[in-house]
Structure 1
Amino acid sequence: AGPELARYADPQGRYPRATRANWNSPAASVDGFSRLDEIFPANTSARAAAPRPWRRPAAGTPVGAAVDDYLARNPVTGLLIARDEVILAERYQYGRGDAHRFTSFSMAGGLLALMAGIALQERRLRLDDPAQLYVPGLAGSPYGATPVRHLLTMSSGMRPRDDLTADDLEGMGLPGGWEAGGVRAARLYEERLAPPGERWHPSVGDAFVLGLVMRAVAGQPLCDFFSDRLWKPIGAEADASWILERGGQELGFTGFNAVLRDYGRLGALLARQGRVDFRQVVSAAWLRELTRAQVGARQTGRGWGYGYQTWVFTENDGSFAWLGERGQALMVDPARRLVLVQAAVRPQSRDAGIAETVALWQSLRRVHQPLRLPAG
Structure 2
Amino acid sequence: MTLPPPLDWQIAKIGPGQEVPPEHRVTRENWRLYPYSRWAFQHTRELVPSRALCRSTAPRRLDEGFVPLDDLPSVGDDAGGAISWAEFEAQTYTDAMLIIHNGTIIHERYYNGMTRHTPHHAFSVSKSFIGLLAESMIADDVLDKDAPVTTYVPELADSGFAKVDVHHLLDMTDGVAFDEDYANPGADVHRYSANYWTPALADGGVRAALARLTGRDHDPGSDFSYRTPVTDALGWVIARAGGKRLADLFYERMWQPAGCADEGHFLVDTAGDEIAASGLNTTARDMARLALLVSEGTGIPTAARASILSGGNRDLYAKSKYAERSRGSYGSQWWVAHDGFGSISALGVYGQRVHIETETGLIMIRFGSHPLASNLHTDGLHRRAFEALRNFLR
Superposition TM-score, scaled by structure 2 size: 0.84
Distance in 2 separating the partners of 1:360 and 1:31: 26
Instruction: Give how far 1:5 is off.
Output: 4.9
Residue 302 of structure 1: which of 318, 324, 328 is its match?
Answer: 324
Instruction: Give how far 1:314 is off.
Output: 4.4
Instruction: Quote the residue 2:389 is aligned against.
Output: 364
8 Å CA contact retained: 1:271, 1:335: no
Instruction: Quote the residue 1:88 is aligned against.
Output: 106
Residue 225 of structure 2: which of 201, 216, 236 is its match?
Answer: 201
Distance in 2 separating the partners of 1:70 and 1:205: 32
8 Å CA contact retained: 2:123, 2:352: yes
- How has the CA–CA distance of structure 1 residues 45 and 364 changed in structure 2, closer, same or farther, with 3 Å as cutoff? same
Structure 2 counterpart of 1:308, one-letter code = S
SS of the residue corresponding to residue 286 of structure 1 reads helix
Query: Which residues of 2 match residues 325-344 of structure 1 at below 5 A?
Result: 325-344=349-368
Give 5+ residue unaligned stretches, structure 1: 276-280, 370-376
Instruction: Quote the residue 2:259 is aligned against.
Output: 235
Aligned pairs, number: 359
8 Å CA contact retained: 1:64, 1:89: no
What do residues 270-313 of structure 1 show as CA deviations (whole Å, max 9, x unaligned)? 111x21xxxxx212222222132313252332333212111112
Instruction: Quote the residue 1:374 is aligned against.
Output: none
Query: Which residues of 2 match residues 239-318 of structure 1 at below 5 A?
Result: 239-272=263-296, 274-275=297-298, 281-296=299-314, 297-300=317-320, 301-304=323-326, 305-315=329-339, 317-318=341-342
Structure 1 counterpart of 2:271, one-letter code = G
Instruction: Quote the residue 1:121 is aligned against.
Output: 139
Structure 1 counterpart of 2:232, one-letter code = F
Instruction: Quote the residue 2:215 is aligned against.
Output: 191
Instruction: Give how far 1:99 is off.
Output: 1.9
8 Å CA contact retained: 1:47, 1:238: yes
What do residues 220-265 of structure 1 show as CA deviations (whole Å, max 9, x unaligned)? 1211111111111211110110011222221111111000111111
- How has the CA–CA distance of structure 1 residues 70 and 197 changed in structure 2, closer, same or farther, with 3 Å as cutoff? same
Structure 1 counterpart of 2:97, one-letter code = L
Residue 321 of structure 1: which of 345, 369, 374 is its match?
Answer: 345
Instruction: Give how far 1:143 is off.
Output: 0.8
Distance in 2 separating the partners of 1:174 and 1:365: 43
Aligned alpha-carbon RMSD (Å): 2.5
Instruction: Quote the residue 1:373 is aligned against.
Output: none
- How has the CA–CA distance of structure 1 residues 245 and 13 changed in structure 2, closer, same or farther, with 3 Å as cutoff? closer
- How has the CA–CA distance of structure 1 residues 173 and 210 changed in structure 2, closer, same or farther, with 3 Å as cutoff? farther
Distance in 2 separating the partners of 1:11 and 1:289: 44
SS of the residue corresponding to residue 364 of structure 2 reads strand
Residue 203 of structure 2: which of 162, 178, 181 is its match?
Answer: 178
What do residues 61-82 of structure 1 show as CA deviations (whole Å, max 9, x unaligned)? 4565453231232210000001
SS of the residue corresponding to residue 35 of structure 2 reads helix
- How has the CA–CA distance of structure 1 residues 167 and 201 changed in structure 2, closer, same or farther, with 3 Å as cutoff? closer
Residue 243 of structure 2: which of 201, 209, 219 is its match?
Answer: 219
Instruction: Give how far 1:150 is off.
Output: 1.0
- How has the CA–CA distance of structure 1 residues 208 and 8 changed in structure 2, closer, same or farther, with 3 Å as cutoff? farther
Instruction: Quote the residue 1:278 is aligned against.
Output: none
